[in-house]
Chain A
Amino acid sequence: MAKELWKGNEAVAEAAIKAGCRFFFGYPITPQNEIPEYMAMKMPQIDGCFLQAESEVAAINMVYGAAGAGARVMTSSSSPGISLKQEGITYIAGAELPCVIVNMVRGGPGLGSIQPAQSDYFQACKGGGHGDYRLIVLAPASVQEAVDLVQEAFDIADQYRNPVMILGDGMMGQMMEPVEFKEVKKRSLPEKTWATVGTKGKRKPNVVNSLYIDAADCHNHNVDLFKKYAEIEKNEVRVDTYNVENAEIVFVAYGTTARIVKNAINSLAKEGIKAGLIRPVTLWPYPYKAIEEAAEKASVKAFMSVEMSMGQMVEDVKLGANGKKPVYFYGKAGGAFPTPKGIAEEAKKILGGAK
Chain B
Amino acid sequence: MIKSNRQVRFSIGLHQILAAMLQEIRMIGTDAGVLIIILAVPVLYPVLYSFIYYPEVVRNLPVAVVDHSRTAVSREYIRHLDATPEINVTCTTPTMEEAISAFRRREIRGIVSIPESFSSDLALGRQTTISAYADMEFFLYYKALVSGTSFVTIDANKNIQVRNLMDGGLTAEQAEIMAEPLTLSDNAMSNPSGGFASYGIPAALILIIQQTIILAIGIVAGTLREKHPAGILIVHDHRFAETIRQLTGKAAAYFLVYSVLSIYMLKIIPGLFGYSDNLDFYELVVLISPFLLSSIFFGLALSVFFRNRESPMMLYLFTSIPLLFLSGIIWPLSGFSPLWLAVREIFPSSDAMFGYIKMSALAADLTETGREISNLWLKTFICFVLACVLYSGKLIQQKSKLKTGHGIQLQSG
- Are A and B part of the same complex? no
